[in-house]
A and B are shown apart, each in its own frame.
Chain A
Amino acid sequence: MLSPEKNERLTRVGPGTPMGDLLRRYWWPIATHDMATRVPVKRRLLGEDLVLYRDGSGTVGLLAEQCPHRRAALWLGCTERTGLRCGYHGWVFDADGRCLEQPGEPADSTFAARIRTTAYPVQELGGLVFAYLGPLPAPELPRYDLFVWDDAWRDIGHAELPCNFLQIMENSVDPYHVEWLHGRYGSFLRELDGGAPLPVVTKKHVKVAFEVFEHGILKRRVLEGHTEEDDDWKVGHPLVFPHMLRVGAAGLATFQIRVPIDDETTWHVWYQTYRPDGGAPPQTSIPTYEVPLVDERGEWLRDYVDGQDIVAWITQGRISDRSREHLGKSDLGVILLRKLYSEQMARVAAGEDPICTFREPHDVIDLPMEKDKFGPAAQFRAMWCRESSIRFSPIRDEVLDLFGDPALA
């Protein structure tokens, strides 16, 4: 168990909280590329209400939701050639937060020069819009490999989950759940439907190891019937600090990105890449889609692997009460992650950069990940297209085609 104070410290993400201060040192996806348009939209990140827009000159801006004049919401506004005009009285703001116009004020007024609204830096990369809410100067936006490969196809799935980000991150250092949540529970549902169990996820874990390394925590495992010579142990796959899991194999690689909207809500982004041997032909645009959480009767979807994970996270509660849990030795990965967050919070409090802060411009950051996993490649891809969020991707069939795989039955 964990003390209620420590639980609070690890889960509160708002301004002025220790975790909020730590998380503000990183760039966060705030939207998919197609959400930033001439029509301003409301977004929320780390407990702050914001408005995102793309003005007539193509500049993407991210401002505090409320207009500094008389506090109307700026999503009730119109984008101009430069900046965003508040819909209420027409004040105009640019992406740096400067007030460019106050049409109701006398022509000789210099009042506008004294008004500034909160504006945060944004950058686009790989089909996502990233925002930085921390102290300036902002570090470099990390160019992780999946965001920058020029010979891969991509799609981006996303969903808003009613729970704190930490319980989702903890799942990424909890390898045993695969055997049980997906192997046993998932197979149980299939049995009830007269189906056969899912092959790979039912295998027993012989050994797991966690290693803090420069990008976060590297997770290695040996499953029954495998050895330390297999990629699962030799290479492993990373939890990228503080917010991502990298998974996949056989030309499929995914970042699961956990974006804290506030203490009780998380924007989950499945950033998928498809890269056959020899590369993929150019893709004209990156499709985006919403991952549904419930079926037509309003029941949580849990007949596939990612759905099972989601339901486990959500049922832990909006903020899991860790003062009432009972951890064992199989939870060491989770404990290590909590310790890593604690250590990095202390680093930020001491005025230092936390890990995974990049101050130097760079082309690409390569991350380790298994290539061979779970048996034959085509079989793995078929399973992944059924069992992960890809099942809802608008380009699922084209992806199988890209690899020369048969269509799903």
Chain B
Amino acid sequence: MNFCPVCGADLRDGASFVQEFWVAQDRDFLGWCATCTTMSSVVLAPTVVGHEPEH
């Protein structure tokens, strides 16, 4: 995760914050953009999991 998903600023600017963590197969990133102050999360997911209501 190198860029802010909201304003596009470079998160490698020194002041912004990016932290990677893992959830099952997913690589998750929590970002905080020093330019627009948005907190965001990005998930690199090998599969997209939905759900099906009971029927």
Given A326, A338, A345, which contacts B22 in the complex, CB threshold below 8 Å? A326
Shortest distance between the CB of B22 and any CB in chain A (Å): 6
Within 8 A of B (CB), among A336-390: 338-339, 342-343, 345-346, 349
Please report the total number of B residues contacting A with Cβ < 8 Å.
16
- A329 interface contact, C-beta 8 A: yes
Check A345–B19 contact: CB distance below 8 A: no
A5 to B39, CA, bound (A): 20
Assess the B17–A338 pair: CB atoms within 8 A: yes
Inter-chain contact A345/B30, CB cutoff 8 Å:
no
Q: Which residues 1-37 in B have Cβ within 8 Å of A in the complex? A: 14-23, 28, 30, 32, 34, 37
**Per DSSP, are chain A's interface residues mostly helix, strand or loop, or mixed?**
helix
B21 touches A328 (CB 8 A): yes
User: Which residues of A lie under 8 Å from residue B30 when comparing CB positions?
Assistant: 335, 339
Contact partner of A338 (CB less than 8 A), chosen from B14, B19, B23, is B19
Taking a contact as CB atoms under 8 Å apart, the answer to whether B16 and A335 are in contact is no
Q: Once the chains bind, are A343 and B20 in contact (CB under 8 Å)?
A: no
Q: Which of B15, B21, B23 has the most CB of A within 10 A?
A: B21
Nearest A residue to B21, CB-CB: A327
Find residues 6-56 in chain A having any chain B CB closer than 8 Å to their own CB: 6, 9, 18
**In the complex, A345 Cα to B13 Cα: how many Å?**
13
Chain B residue contacts of A9, Cβ below 8 A? 14
Knowing A339-B30, A339-B32, A339-B39, the reply to whether A346 touches B23 (Cβ < 8 A) is no
Q: Please state if B21 and A335 are interface contacts (CB–CB under 8 Å).
A: yes
B36 to chain A, nearest CB (A): 11
Residues of chain B with a CB closer than 8 A to A349's CB: 15
Which residues of the other chain, B, contact A346 by a CB distance below 8 angstroms? 15, 34
| Residues in A neighbouring B22, C-beta threshold 8 A | 326-328
Q: Are A339 and B21 in contact (CB under 8 A)?
A: no
Among B17, B19, B34, point to the contact of A327 (Cβ < 8 A).
B19
Chain A residue, CB-CB nearest to B13: A346
Residues on the B chain within 8 Å of A332, using CB: 21
**Of B17, B20, B28, which one neighbours A339 at CB under 8 angstroms?**
B17
How does the 8 Å CB contact mask read for A309-339 relative to B, with 1 for contact and 0 for none?
Answer: 0000000000000000011110110010011
Asked if residues A345 and B15 are in contact (CB atoms below 8 Å), the reply is yes
Q: Is the CB of A342 within 8 A of B32?
A: yes
> Nearest B residue to A326 by beta-carbon distance?
B22
Asked if B19 and A2 make an inter-chain contact with CB atoms under 8 angstroms apart, the answer reads yes
A343, B21: Cβ atoms closer than 8 Å: no
- Binary interface profile of A, 151-164, with partner B (CB < 8 Å = 1, else 0)? 00000000000000
Judge whether A342 and B20 touch: CB under 8 Å: no
Tell me the minimal C-beta distance from B41 to chain A in angstroms: 10
A1 at the interface (CB under 8 A from B): yes
CA distance A327 to B29 in the complex (A): 11
Q: B19, B28, B30 — which one has the most chain A CB atoms within 10 A of its CB? A: B19
CB distance from A259 to the nearest CB of B (A): 24
Q: Give the B-binding residues of A (Cβ under 8 A).
A: 1-3, 5-6, 9, 18, 326-329, 331-332, 335, 338-339, 342-343, 345-346, 349
Q: What are 6 A-B pairs at a CB distance below 8 A?
A: A2-B20, A3-B18, A335-B21, A335-B30, A342-B32, A343-B37
Q: Using A3-B18, A339-B17, A339-B19 as known contacts, list a sample of 12 further A-B pairs with CB atoms less than 8 Å apart, ordered by residue number in A.
A: A1-B20, A6-B18, A18-B15, A327-B21, A327-B22, A329-B28, A335-B19, A339-B30, A342-B17, A342-B34, A343-B32, A346-B34
**When A and B form their complex, which 8 residue pairs have the shortest distance between CB atoms, in order from nearest?**
A342-B17, A327-B21, A346-B34, A346-B15, A339-B32, A335-B19, A329-B23, A339-B17
Q: Spell out B's residues near A (CB within 8 Å).
A: 14-23, 28, 30, 32, 34, 37, 39
